[in-house]
Amino acid sequence: MDKLPLVLDLSGTFVFALSGALAGARRELDLFGVLVLSFAAGNSGGITRDLLIGAVPPGAVGDWRYLGVSLLAGIITFYCSPLIVRMSNPILIFDAAGLALFAVTGSSKALAHGLNPVMATALGMVTGIGGGMVRDVLLAEIPTVLRAELYAVAALAAAAIVVIGHMLQLPVAAVTAVALISCFLLRVMSIRRGWRLPVAKIKERDDPNTAKKSLNDTGRS
């Protein structure tokens, strides 16, 4: 049980690194680019978490195992990408798994450092979404958390389960399992069913930028 947080953290690093490396391979990056993306996706959330709670140097910097599992994921993906791509929605599945693992480890580590329940829940969410955000930014895409189905909400739910379980002094292993499964299933089901938060509906005639562009186009013609 003492090693459970480290195992979950390294597992989250690996699966997020897989999603980052696969996204880079799909963009036809070279080996170095794929490895950079795998490290960034696998460790950005954990580094953010550690810096915010004052755990310096961050685990990804002070422990060679984080770099090792990130590079391993990148190399596996680079040389086996055709096999991985044939899987159903591989990036989304890896991303959902990493989201669940990091949300749980983020909230658990925050509680261990004495943060209050609300901030521990928020930090769990930040840990979960950090790697995916950096991956998407490096690929010049709108981060998934800002456009996808129940991404941050799933991480928030997992973190909340961990915090509530801690407050009620429930068994750590059972709470961890429930949090991981809940986050993963919520994320995957939101992808399959298209569940998402409300999106602002702006009609073209109500958008001043669109109207201005139309006037400019008319003037040119």
pLDDT tens by residue, 101-157: 899 999 999 999 999 999 999 999 999 999 889 999 999 998 888 876 688 899 999
Mean pLDDT for 58-72 is 91
The pLDDT of residue 71 is above 70: yes
- Sorted by sequence, the CB contacts under 8 Å of residue 58 that are 6+ apart come out as 43, 46, 47, 49, 50, 51
In this prediction the pTM is 0.78
- The gap between the terminal CA atoms of the chain, to the nearest Å, is 71
Confidence (pLDDT) at 206: 57
Confidence (pLDDT) at 65: 93
Confidence (pLDDT) at 190: 87
Specify whether the CB–CB gap between 185 and 99 falls below 8 A.
no
Specify whether the CB–CB gap between 42 and 66 falls below 8 A.
yes
| HSE-up of residue 117 (Cα within 13 Å, Cβ side) | 9
Mean pLDDT for 193-212 is 68
- In this structure, the number of other CB atoms found within 10 A of the CB of residue 37 comes to 27
Least confident of 38-42, 163-167, 186-190: 186-190
The pLDDT of residue 208 is above 50: yes
CA 195 to chain centre: 18
The pLDDT of residue 60 is above 90: no
Q: How confident is the model at residue 212 (pLDDT cuts 50, 70, 90)?
A: low
Mean pLDDT for 77-105 is 80
Specify whether the CB–CB gap between 139 and 186 falls below 8 A.
no
Q: Which of 5, 9, 7, 35 is nearest to 23 (CA)?
A: 35
User: Higher confidence at residue 205 or residue 7?
Assistant: 7
Q: How confident is the model at residue 215 (pLDDT cuts 50, 70, 90)?
A: very low
Q: H helices of the chain, where?
A: 4-26, 31-53, 59-62, 64-85, 90-112, 117-138, 151-167, 172-193, 208-220
How confident is the prediction for the chain on average, in pLDDT?
A: 85
| HSE-up of residue 158 (Cα within 13 Å, Cβ side) | 36
Mean pLDDT for 158-187 is 94
Gyration radius of the chain's alpha carbons: 19
Confidence (pLDDT) at 220: 52
